[in-house]
Amino acid sequence: MIPDIDALKHDLHDVEQAVADAIKYAEKLGVSAAECAMSRSSGINVGTRLGEVETVEFNQDGALGITVFRGQQKGSSSTTDLTAKAIRAAVEKANDIARFTSPDPFAGLAPAELMATDIPDLDLCHPADQSAEFALEQALACEQHALQLDPRIVNSDGAGYSSHVGYRVYGNSHGFVAGYLQSRHSLSCSLIAKSGDAMQRDYSYSVARNREDLWTPAQVAEDAVESTIARLDGQKIATAKVPVIFRADVANSLFGHLVAGISGGSLYRKSSFLVDHLGKQVLPEWLTITERPHLRGALASSPFDHEGLATQEREIIRDGVLQTYLLTSYSARKLGMSPTGHAGGIHTWEVGSQVPDLQALCRQMGTGLLVTELMGQGVNIVNGDYSRGAAGFWVENGEIKYPVEEITIAGNLKDMLRNIVAIASDVDLRHGVRTGSVLLEEMRIAGV
């Protein structure tokens, strides 16, 4: 049961027409501007545990949202019913709401001259088999293989497979209406291992636009087993200040805090540790981060943002210096700047690297902590204070010695980002921020 790509294209065209009709009707009501968007996704999620089927969920969701402006007054409404009558009712409701809202001098559409005029095919949609039989086959095979690999794997938290296809459409009264198809598939497995009286849990997963790019069930299982077994017989370490490596699969979170710090909403509220840092050094001089929104098939690629603005390749950081903030049209007006096409988030960041792999990075570190899991939410974007629970491995003379648990790592984001020593080339492609493992000069470790 593979979704018909021609039927998807037909649905996309119908929704584009519905969006255009909604905007046209809003204009007939006398609004000064209007915008309309719809995202729709359909697919399957399954879960298994110990060879038994736990969940099989077919889902289809999506709603058309309409926003109208009467001068600087704004009203919004939505509907899941795409009949002409329901859409007109939603437009009328948004119009009625706008009449009673307080004027906001910064409200309005993004600039017409910045709308996307070319919608490239970014190879984002690859429909795959969405039958329950196939999905369960993938999850069951993954979990079964994992449970047979090592006698220390004594239990499972389950395996899961999902496959979804859909589209996103956006239009506004600048005359812009466009959409694109997209898909997402994933496979995961979570395991429990035992050594003596101690037990540990870990997992692995794969996610991709194209199901052919997913790891096989055996690959996910083997990675999950390796990760779980490696955590057995963990030790506590003494409180100290040591170098720290964020492994690639958690290093993206470090740059995620950078994203939050340079996003317009945080900046105009003065609630960021990077206020007034445009054009200033925020990372080491050797480090450059490039945004590549048109990278074909990437999970975070997009031809336009959620306001219809054209996405474009740009350097976010050049030689350690912050080149741009991440601004929607609203935050841009609040800051007296131009929007950057980041309504809805970032679009595939590529972080520079210069060390061949994680092993080389460990050798460069010498002795310190390799972090493989982060816990808790102890990050203050306002002042940059950072304190999170962590687990990982203790490294001596460049070699991993033993697993470490029940520790807290702490520092300040501004110092952490400036004091990045090196980045490896073991890039994790499962995130919008594509980075390898990151070595920091020093962090405080709270242990025993």
Rounded Cα distance, 338 and 111, in Å: 9
3-class DSSP assignment, residue 21: helix
Residue 33 amino acid letter = A
| Annotated domain spans of the chain | 5-230, 234-448
- Among 145, 272, 327, 282, which Cα is nearest to 219's? 145
Each residue's pLDDT, cut to its tens digit, for the chain (448 residues) gives 888 899 999 999 999 999 999 999 999 999 999 999 999 999 999 999 999 999 999 999 889 999 999 999 999 999 999 999 999 999 999 999 999 999 999 999 999 999 999 899 999 999 999 999 999 999 999 999 999 999 999 999 999 999 999 999 999 999 999 999 999 999 999 999 999 888 999 999 999 999 999 999 999 999 999 999 999 999 989 999 999 999 999 999 999 999 999 999 999 999 999 999 999 999 999 999 999 999 999 999 999 999 999 999 999 999 999 999 999 999 999 999 999 999 999 999 999 988 999 999 999 999 999 999 999 889 999 999 999 999 999 999 999 999 999 999 999 999 999 999 999 999 999 999 999 999 999 999 998 6
β-pairing verdict for 321-322 and 314-318 = antiparallel
Neighbouring C-alpha atoms within 13 Å toward the C-beta of 181: 21
Rounded Cα distance, 354 and 423, in Å: 6
Q: Which residues are CB-contacts of 221 (< 8 A; sequence separation ≥ 6)? A: 142, 143, 145, 146, 149, 189, 204
- For helices 217-230 and 132-149, give the axis angle rounded to 10 degrees: 40
* CB neighbours of residue 365 within 10 Å: 23
Task: Check: CB of residue 245 under 8 Å from CB of residue 289.
Answer: no
Fold (topology level) of 5-230: PmbA/TldD fold (3.30.2290)
Taking the alpha carbons of 397, 401, 403, 408 in that order, is the dihedral positive or negative?
Answer: negative
Helices in 109-204 by DSSP H: which ranges?
Answer: 132-149
Rounded Cα distance, 255 and 263, in Å: 12
- pTM (2 d.p.): 0.94
* CB neighbours of residue 28 within 10 Å: 10
- Among 440, 414, 403, 425, which Cα is nearest to 245's? 440
